[in-house]
Amino acid sequence: MATASLSAATDVVVPGSADEAIAAFGDGDDVLVVGGGTIVVPEMTYGRLRPGKALMLARTGLDGIERNGSRTTVGAATPLEELTGLPAPLGPCAANVADVEIRSQATVGGNICAGEGHEAPRGDLQGAFLALGATVRSAGEGGIVEEPLEEFLPKRRHRLLLSVSYDEPAAGAFAGLDRPHTHDYTALAVSGARATDGTLRLAATGAGWWGVRLPSAEAAADDPVAAGEAALSDVDPQDDALASAWYRAKVLPVLVRTVLDELKGAA
């Protein structure tokens, strides 16, 4: 079928280390990075992606979770299933993704870098990592850069994500719409985390084309009901295959309130 001819037209590179992957990625021009493949393989099957080069990360050793004091670093090729036992918001957020077979194949890098799809937003984990104030290491034009996830997200398509790091929060919470059946994407979810210095971060997945912080809700966090309403000014929900903008606008305040109540309970 079409994929055979696609394969023939695509230069497939299977690096055996992170250094080889970085060299093969270069400036990222016309390079498709394949982690687990759960998102991009169907895109190629259905002819929506025709990369000049496919960079396969499975044998790069870019997987694994490392802890150094309070700092946790997750490799880009780590399967989502390995995150499910972590504290909120990340653990329950990862557990809310698809099903165990998909989670065991899908990778953190693929999830963070996927972003918008043709039918719906993607990037289930973006909200949880934003709430944790995560930073990411990536390679590409200009070499290896470490920067906040918020700054990385708009340019994620042109970078090779290597790892994502965050400090364990004092408290975390996650609330999302019920997990959809099988291989679907998060329709709407809110993550919250209170850092050890008291900083509160709230972020949403599914309220725009990629994960966004909710600064207005953060500013009103002392009143969870008001914060929920305030969150609406931070997002631009859209109609797509998973939910309508109207529905998301109705549910977002509830999820924000739920997360803030849970964080209060954990204080």
Task: Spell out the alpha helix ranges (H) of the chain.
Answer: 2-9, 18-25, 40-45, 90-95, 100-105, 108-114, 126-131, 149-152, 215-219, 224-230, 245-266
- From the CB of residue 267, how many other CB atoms can be counted at a distance below 10 Å? 7
Do the strands 31-34 and 189-194 form a parallel or antiparallel pair, or are they unpaired? unpaired
| Smallest separation, CB 10 to another protein (Å) | 6
Closer to another protein by Cβ: residue 51 or 253: 51
| Smallest separation, CB 247 to another protein (Å) | 21
Closer to another protein by Cβ: residue 34 or 132: 34
| Smallest separation, CB 41 to another protein (Å) | 5
| Smallest separation, CB 73 to another protein (Å) | 24
Distance separating alpha carbons of residues 235 and 130, to the nearest angstrom: 15
Distance separating alpha carbons of residues 150 and 46, to the nearest angstrom: 31
Closer to another protein by Cβ: residue 58 or 225: 58
Residues making contact with another protein (CB under 8 A): 1, 3-4, 6-8, 10, 12, 14, 34, 36-38, 41-42, 44-46, 54, 56, 58, 98-102, 104-105, 181-184
Q: b/e per residue, 113-152, with b = 16+ CB within 10 A?
A: bbbebeebbbbbbbbbbbbbbbbbbbbbeeeebeeebbeb
Closer to another protein by Cβ: residue 12 or 23: 12
Closer to another protein by Cβ: residue 110 or 237: 110
| Smallest separation, CB 179 to another protein (Å) | 8
Place of tokens 């918020």: 150
